[in-house]
Structure 1
């Protein structure tokens, strides 16, 4: 479906995804930090538990690997949650399209 700008009538219209982009970035950072902190403190995440088991087998260096695995798992989960929330924000609150000719948002 081709959209046209209501202001200038141009067909050069792009979808913005502002909420999805910001939600993905924030979710990834927050999830990664939480996953790393959780892996070193309690080992509550499934990826962290696996990482800690690897740490027990591999020795002291493996505990660091457990923290990294926890951070990666947390970052992935946070990114997915952030993208879903961002899509909801895009659909409900923000302007979804931008004209490349007159820079109008609609």
Structure 2
């Protein structure tokens, strides 16, 4: 009986392990890509936060300056073209 050829069964272990390893490699790579996107989103959000904080500080400074009568007069003269009573506005001719 030893001289007979044995039927060779298909071994499922090697393909099964290859599939399992492939699945875990795919999951690992997709998680790394997702983490990279999250890091980019976080950096963009931090940049927007920093810009908003700077704008907030500038607006607080302007609000504080608006309580100063000299600053109010300067803004009224420069941006609105207002004058005091009895003053004549001076404008230059543009060519």
> Same fold, TM exceeding 0.5?
no
**What TM bracket, shorter-length normalisation?**
0.3 to 0.5
State TM-score, norm by structure 2: 0.36
RCO comparison, higher one (Cα < 8 Å, 6+): 1
Name the larger-Rg structure. Answer: 2
Higher strand proportion (structure 1 or 2): 1
Q: TM-score, normalised by structure 1?
A: 0.33
